[in-house]
Amino acid sequence: MSVSPDARWRLGPDLEFELDHCRVMGILNVTSDSFSDGGLYEDVDRAIGRSVAMVDEGASMIDVGGESTRPGAAPVTVEQQLSRVIPVIKGIRRLFDVPISIDTTSAHVAQQALDAGADAINDVSAGMDDPGMFALAAERGCGLVLMHRLCRPAEDSWSDAHESEPEYGDLVGDVHGWLLERARLAEESGVQPASIVIDPGLGFGKNVEQNARLIAAVGSFVQSGYPVLCAASRKSFIGAVTGQSDPEERMVGSVAIAIWEAARGVRLFRVHDVSAHVGALAAYDRGHGLARSLGTTLRALSPELVQADTMSALKSNS
């Protein structure tokens, strides 16, 4: 699926992401209980060091979060989130101009993060948890990621551990329609359409088979006109398919999904394993670019090729 060469994600009045190629958002969880890297980067210096490594590996953005959204995670206070994320964001901003997103459902946390140097809000509740989020995003003109979820993390289960199938009427249609409605409400609050990214919410209130169906249908989300974020990295539904219970062993499956979605027009990828994704997606971009150039060349040559084939046929019949 082709993507417009003019596709962009607006992160501020003077900052845009060009989406003519794949972009990787490196995950930096400064939490104690995230599902894959909880506890690794609670120390500020270590977290900043991880951001340096991800930028060196080719990350185009750093996504900083101070509250785990894994299934069963208990919410943390605004004060806890701020004490975790603000020193890290300030530290990253002192070192780099790399765009930063704040992973939070709290408008107050988002505001403080933007003041500290963040450029976008990654809200897994799509503005449902805090009615002030859309007004804040509109006022600041920052980027805004809207993700679908069926329930709050504390009420959710791992994708391979649902006792009964999460209920949807039409899974793809329901998720797609819900995201478009949230985007519409954000725009009514003053958020620019070019600032909005949508995320189908893989792993959030979906079982293994439902996640697979959303991945297969990602092209329909791309066709909405909003950039789409792929956030499959290391999630439990990958382990359910590959048999890998340790999230750190799910890199290959994560990359495979990223390439599948890239081929269907997705250009933003939130990942743990930055180097592997950057390398694989860069190879995809190069191959896709070559194929597109070859197609253009063949179309340009087609009249000459048709004429040559016709002349050859006439000669063979004479």
Residue 183's H or E segment, with its range, is: helix 171-188
DSSP class of residue 289 equals H
Looking at residue 290, what is its pLDDT?
67
pLDDT value for 71: 84
Q: If DSSP codes are grouped into helix, strand and coil, which group holds residue 66?
A: coil
> Which residues make Cβ contacts (< 8 Å) with residue 128, sequence separation at least 6?
105, 182
pTM, rounded to two decimals: 0.88
Instruction: Indicate if 90 belongs to the active site.
Output: no
Name residues of the chain where pLDDT drops below 50: 1-2, 35, 314
If DSSP codes are grouped into helix, strand and coil, which group holds residue 279? helix
Number of H helices, E strands in the chain: 10, 10
* 17 CB-near residues (< 8 Å, 6+ apart): 8, 9, 11, 23, 60, 61, 99, 143, 268
- Measured over the CA atoms of residue 32, residue 37, residue 40 and residue 42, the dihedral's sign is negative
Structural domain boundaries in the chain: 8-284
Which residue shows structure tokens 């490594």?
A: 53
What CATH code would you report for 8-284? 3.20.20.20
Strands 15-18 and 8-12: antiparallel
Give the CA count within 13 Å in the CB-facing half-sphere of 156: 23
Residue tagged active-site, from 23, 50, 235, 267: 235
Is there a catalytic annotation at residue 46?
no
